[in-house]
Structures are given as structure tokens and as C-alpha cells.
Structure 1
């Protein structure tokens, strides 16, 4: 059964990540992508302008950052606020839903940072075995 285009007449069913046609996979991709996860964790600290995000997230291109922010905004995780100044000031912040997912992402990020040495040691051992 295909996902409905409108929620006015059809009730949205619960997501199932293991179903090939489930939109939860797209949402998961947006949240767990390299740049999506970093944007979410960074926005837990504060609201940021685009240039500040680009500066703080090393290695991200402006194109990828713009695509990431757009996807997270479409999913309801990020709020884009345009302030009526000259030139216009645009800030990005987390929505309540975004804060909830970002807090979970931060736990994962903290785990990875805490265990990076163990993982890299394991990688080195595996490389020695295969050499």
C-alpha cells in the first residue's frame, strides 16, 4: 500500500523503518546524514546564522549545508527565522521536535567521541590482519 499524499482523508499509519516504501527511511537519512547529525547537535548549543554553521562545521560546502538545512526544515526539526534587517538576518534554531531528536543524536555523538580510540585501534588490528 502506497503512502497517502494527503492526510485530510486518510489517517497516517505508524512508521516502519524496515518497509521499503516507508517515509521513515527518508527522515532517518536526513537526521543521520553526516551533515544532518552535526547540524542538529550544533544547534543544541545555540541559534546560528548560515555562515556561523558553515564555519563551525568543518568541511561542509555551502551547497550541502543549504540542502541539509532545507531537509531538516521540511521534516520539522529546524526553524528558519528571517529577521527584517538590512541586510536580512537569517537564523536557524531547533523546533521542539528537533531538540528531541538532537538530544538523542548528541548521546550518540558523545559515545563516538568517547570511544574513538577503541574504534581506531580495532581498525588498525583489522588492517594488520588483512595485510
Structure 2
């Protein structure tokens, strides 16, 4: 099986979109636990709200990834895969130092590297399929 067949933006966008819908809903539903994990035992109601807001803020991006994976085809899908991956990587690059400056518990190398590697795969999949019709 060729790399281009494996790295198909349709499946990567749809799959990651579904995963992030689940993670976003989980963060919203279990915001109190997320706040405790992120800030320790002295979290506040404001921290719980921020975790809920983060979960809901991530939802539109996840849904757009699913739509791009299922309804867009060819070169347009490839361009969307590259743009989405690039935009999220920029977001991670900005959020990571901001989060570590305030000791936010979810800003660990593992929680940033794994999603970043997945986003690289999405971007590469788009690049490999730029000539698709």
C-alpha cells in the first residue's frame, strides 16, 4: 500500500474530527475534573467555566473537519487539510508557552506532541493529494 493511499485527507479529517468532537464533549461534560487536573485542588468556578468554554470552542473546528472530510473532495479537500493543520499548529505554538507560563496542567510535551504529529499527518495528506480532482 502506497503512502498516498494511507494518508488520505478524507479519512484523516473525518477521523480526527470525530475524535475531537468526543474530546470536546468530554471536556465540557467533565469540566470540573478537567479543571482539577489542570489547576490542582484549588481550582475555581471560573476555571470550570474556562474548561467548558474550551470544550465548546473546539467543537466547531471538529465539526468543520468532519464536513471537510465527508463533503469536500479533490484539490479543495487537500487545501483544506493543509490549511486546517497549519492553523491548528499555529494555535498550539501560541497556546503552549502561554499555558506553561501559568502552570496549566494540560500543557505537557505529550499532550502537545501527539496532536501535533497527527496534524502533521493531516497536512502531509493534503500535500500528497493536491493534484487530485
TM over 0.5, shorter chain: no
Shorter-chain TM band: under 0.3
Structure with bigger helix share is 2
Q: What is the TM-score with the length of structure 1 in the denominator?
A: 0.28
Higher relative contact order (CA 8 A, sep 6+): 2
Structure with bigger strand share is 1
> Which is higher, the Rg of structure 1 or of structure 2?
1
Q: What is the TM-score with the length of structure 2 in the denominator?
A: 0.27
